[in-house]
Amino acid sequence: MKLKKQKKRHFFHIVDYSPWPLLIATAALFFTLSLGVYFTRIEYSLLCVYWQLFLIILIMYKWWKDVNTESVFLGAHTRIVVKGLWLGFILFMLSEVMIFFVFFWGYFHYSLTTAYEIGFYWPAVGVSLVKTYRLPLLNTLILILSGITLTIAHKSLLIGDYRNTQIRLILTILLGLTFEILQVMEYSLIPYNMNDAVFGNIFYFLTGLHGFHVLVGIIFLTVCFVRLKKGYLLKESHIGFEFAIWYWHFVDIVWILLFFVVYWW
């Protein structure tokens, strides 16, 4: 006897079975292991790391494509579902705040209570600091400018000016890429490395973690640009773009704190 398909009597989205969460978790695990092996064994091929990163990007693309189909074509993102997405993203941002809070806490712990091992001096004796008003200041201005262009792009979208939204969104992405390039240049000019006392370790971890978040933000904005180009982002409905804006402004604020704490102070 065949069971009749029950009619949907709620506004929630019951997600279909999907392989992407399990696959991306597995790919992320092997990517982390590959990085760990690469950093400890010089002869380990970097191609394995790139291969794992390629798999992560491919799975992300397929997963985002399914989410876009659910939202645009199936109409699964009802008002209640959107509220749930907002709550989930807010909790995600709070977790990001806690991650950076932990490492800022570590920075202040070692800088305000200097130990014998580093000569009772912060940074440790022999560590040459980066010039604050050169690349770090330029990067700060670039990131602040990118936040302004992104805000203007959002204003353009709200009034239905999609062409100017695309132009300003591309400009924001280019500014983000410029920031990343200058950060790599700065690393090549710094006279110390991650093994130079606790200052070098925390410096590279804080700035590197932030640089990774900028890279994620660039991917986030690029996906929004593609969706905007295809007509999936409208002035009435663009929750994904709003999430990207929140994320990018968070990255801006963290860098401003980094500039004043790590470079200037």
Question: What are the tens digits of pLDDT across the range 103-155?
Answer: 999 888 877 776 655 556 666 666 667 777 888 899 999 999 999 999 999 99
CA dihedral 205, 207, 213, 219 (to 10 degrees): -120
Strands (E), the chain: none
pTM reported for the whole predicted model? 0.85
The total of other beta-carbon atoms located within 10 Å of residue 236's CB is: 7
CATH of the domain at 104: 1.20.120.80
CA distances from 155 to 108, 149, 151, 173 (A): 38, 10, 6, 17
Same domain, 196 and 165: yes
Domain count, the chain: 2
Same domain, 58 and 174: no
Q: Is residue 8 part of a domain?
A: no
Section 199-222 average pLDDT: 90
Same domain, 126 and 189: yes
Same domain, 101 and 183: yes
Same domain, 128 and 255: yes
| Domain endpoint, select from 46, 76, 106 | 76
| Domain endpoint, select from 76, 105, 124 | 76
Tell me the pLDDT tens digit for each residue of 37-63: 877 766 667 788 888 889 988 998 888
Q: Is residue 11 part of a domain?
A: no
Same domain, 226 and 156: yes
Q: What is the structure's pLDDT at 199?
A: 78
For 122, residues 6+ apart whose C-beta sits below 8 A from its C-beta are 110, 111, 114, 199
Same domain, 72 and 112: no
Q: Is residue 84 part of a domain?
A: no
Same domain, 60 and 98: no
CATH of the domain at 50: 1.10.287.70
What does pLDDT average to over the chain?
A: 85
Which of the pair, 130 or 250, is modelled with greater confidence?
Answer: 250
Q: Is residue 83 part of a domain?
A: no
Same domain, 189 and 118: yes
Same domain, 71 and 94: no
Section 190-215 average pLDDT: 83
Nearest-CA neighbor of 11 among 76, 107, 105, 63? 76
Same domain, 67 and 97: no
Which of the pair, 177 or 130, is modelled with greater confidence?
Answer: 177
Q: Is residue 1 part of a domain?
A: no
How far does Cα 113 stand from its chain's mean position? 31
Q: What string of DSSP letters covers 84-153?
A: HHHHHHHHHHHHHHHHHHHHHHHHHHHHHS--GGGTT-SS-TTPPPPPTTTHHHHHHHHHHHHHHHHHHH
Section 255-265 average pLDDT: 89
Of the listed ranges 48-57, 80-89, 150-159, 186-195, the least confidently predicted one is 186-195
Q: What is the structure's pLDDT at 89?
A: 94
Of the listed ranges 98-102, 166-170, 233-237, the least confidently predicted one is 233-237
Domain range for 216? 89-264
